[in-house]
Structure 1
Amino acid sequence: MEMTYLRTFREVAKWGSFTRAAETLGYAQSSITAQIQKLEESYGAVLLERFGRSMKLTMAGEALLQYANEINRLHEESKEVVSQQSKGTLTIGTIETLAAFYLPPYLQAYRRDFPDVNIVIQPGNEPFIIEAVKEGALDIGIILDPPFTDPELESLILREEPLVIIASPDHKLAGQSEVHVEDLQNESLILTEDGCTYRAMLLKVLKGNQVSYKLSYEFGNLEAIKQCVTYGLGIALLPRITVAEEIRKGQIVAIPFVDPACKFYTQLIIAKKKWKSKAYLGFLELLGGANYRND
């Protein structure tokens, strides 16, 4: 109710008249008088005094008017921001692969539509991202996995991500149109870090088919893996989107890895109980299209 009293106080100060303030606000004059009295009781000071036919601000009233004007400005601004829901912070958890090679054009488009939203990208592996989305520590998760379901989460497949074996142009696999697990017998492998879903898939397929291999290097950095492959230190399994530039320059070759287990998709995950602001829905719509359209 104090916002109402402050608004009444500003009108009385503006017009110097209870009567005029009542007409402007659509109140009875007795209501204006009562509101000012309650405001004076609240602040413990006389705010207005009569001079002739006009009401003038006391020193206390002049001090309060400055605060009342600022409070009103902030109140109006808050209504605009909340109604538009176009400010704040959006936290997105994803893996390095997608943060570097999938998200940038979407982030650029989102910044154009929601310039006042601060986006925080939180890197991590899939188990961390999934748990953080469930707990509300992340607003959105973007993962690279086989089709994913969880009773606490909404999940949406955005697109399939082809996985390829990358090798130097003079490697013996370079001339093949596709690579099968048996082709990796005794090959020197350069692996991504532990916790990577497509690394886990590759090792499981190798073990299940009793294919021997040599572990040459293990990196948590994609650029290091690509550089080692370029120098002929081994071969690696990576999403094709991560090596498009090196393929274009002829630094490496990329051969599709063909196996029933090798079906990976970029997927959007959000908590089912998450409240969706306009800015939040804007990002979901950007990635998921009609599935999250806010008509």
Structure 2
Amino acid sequence: MELTYLRTFCEVVSCGSYTRAAEKLGYAQSSVTAQISKLEELYGAVLLERSGRGMIPTFAGNSLLPYARQMLELSGEAKGVVSSGNSGILNIGSIETLAAYYLPHRLHRYREQHPRVQLRVQPGSEVQIIADVKEKAADFGLIFDVPYESEELVSLPLRQEQLFVVVHPEHPLAAEPAIAPSALSAEPLVLTEETCTYRRQLLQELRHSGITPRIDMEFGNLEGIKQAVKHRWGTAFLPWYAAQEELDSGALIGIPLAGEQEKFYIQLIYRKERGLSAAFGDFIAAMQQQ
């Protein structure tokens, strides 16, 4: 309310008249008089006085005037920033593989559009990311799983990704067109952490086939897993995007798991009730770029 009074005060000073200020602001003259009275009461000083030239600021009014104009200017600037969504902090929860292999070049393009938006990427498990988005600790979440459904969240599929059994080029299974779960019965497995969704899918496939998995190594990051396979320490199970460079170059070999498995998608999640500013809409578009 004080900003309204300050705007009226500045207008009266500019117009030199309660009447002309009221006309310009679309108020009744009595409303302008009342607002000035409330402002004078708030600051404990007479701010305007009558002269031959109309209403002019007193010594106290002249002291207040530059501050009033500055506050109105800052208020307008703040409204523009908030309504446009072109600055501020964007919090993104992401599983580690997507933070490392999917996000970087898309975030680079997004920053070119919105250089004033500060990006915070917090890697975590899928369970934690979903909880953070629901609890408003994150604006967006990136997960990799079968299609996720929620009454509270929008889940936007960005891309389907195939999963591969990943081996050294000289591994006995490297020439196979597909690998049956039974072929992995004696294989030393090099896997991601227990919370990983595609690790869970592999272990389910093996157990459904009556195979007890032999997990020799676990890594919290993908580079460790790929290095282990390159050193022939074991066999991995990874999405294409996480090993694209090595698979394309032939440094590693990716072979699909035989049979029908549930399809996995890179998915962007956010709250259904949130209003999407232009900056947020552009972030979604950036994540959808292939």
Structure 1-normalised TM-score? 0.87
Q: Which moved more, 1:15-24 or 1:174-183?
A: 15-24
Report the Cα distance in structure 1 between the residues aligned to 2:5 and 2:30, rounded to whole angstroms.
13
- 8 Å CA contact 2:48–2:55 kept in 1: the answer is yes
Classify 1:168/1:60 alpha carbon distance in 2 versus 1 (closer, same or farther; 3 Å): same
Q: Counterpart in 2 of 1:292?
A: none
- 8 Å CA contact 1:142–1:267 kept in 2: the answer is yes
Letter in 2 for 1:46: V
Q: Counterpart in 2 of 1:198?
A: 198
Letter in 2 for 1:88: G
Q: Give the secondary-structure state (helix, strand or coil) at the position aligned to 1:172.
A: coil
- 8 Å CA contact 1:158–1:265 kept in 2: the answer is yes
Query: What percent identity do the matched residue pairs reach?
Result: 49
Deviation track 1:9-32 (CA, whole Å, cap 9, x = no partner) reads 113333545455455445565554
Report the Cα distance in structure 1 between the residues aligned to 2:18 and 2:160, rounded to whole angstroms.
69
Runs (4+) of structure 1 exceeding 6 A deviation are none
Q: Counterpart in 2 of 1:66?
A: 66
Report the Cα distance in structure 2 between the residues aligned to 1:272 and 1:30, rounded to whole angstroms.
46
Deviation track 1:231-257 (CA, whole Å, cap 9, x = no partner) reads 111110011111122234432222222
Q: Give the secondary-structure state (helix, strand or coil) at the position aligned to 1:90.
A: strand
- The total of aligned residue pairs comes to 289
Report the Cα distance in structure 1 between the residues aligned to 2:262 and 2:129, rounded to whole angstroms.
21
Structural mapping, 1:48-87, within 5 Å:
48-87=48-87
Q: Counterpart in 2 of 1:114?
A: 114
Q: CA deviation at 1:154?
A: 2.3
Q: Counterpart in 1 of 2:135?
A: 135
Letter in 2 for 1:287: M
Q: CA deviation at 1:210?
A: 2.1
Classify 1:273/1:53 alpha carbon distance in 2 versus 1 (closer, same or farther; 3 Å): closer
Q: Give the secondary-structure state (helix, strand or coil) at the position aligned to 2:214.
A: strand
- Are residue 105 (structure 1) and residue 105 (structure 2) matched? yes
Classify 1:88/1:209 alpha carbon distance in 2 versus 1 (closer, same or farther; 3 Å): same
Letter in 2 for 1:97: T
Classify 1:75/1:175 alpha carbon distance in 2 versus 1 (closer, same or farther; 3 Å): same
- Are residue 174 (structure 1) and residue 174 (structure 2) matched? yes
Report the Cα distance in structure 2 between the residues aligned to 1:146 and 1:18, rounded to whole angstroms.
67
Q: Which moved more, 1:227-236 or 1:108-117?
A: 108-117
Structural mapping, 1:23-38, within 5 Å:
24-25=24-25, 31-38=31-38
Deviation track 1:121-148 (CA, whole Å, cap 9, x = no partner) reads 1211111122222222222222111122
Q: CA deviation at 1:113?
A: 2.5
Report the Cα distance in structure 2 between the residues aligned to 1:262 and 1:2, rounded to whole angstroms.
59
Report the Cα distance in structure 1 between the residues aligned to 2:34 and 2:213, rounded to whole angstroms.
86
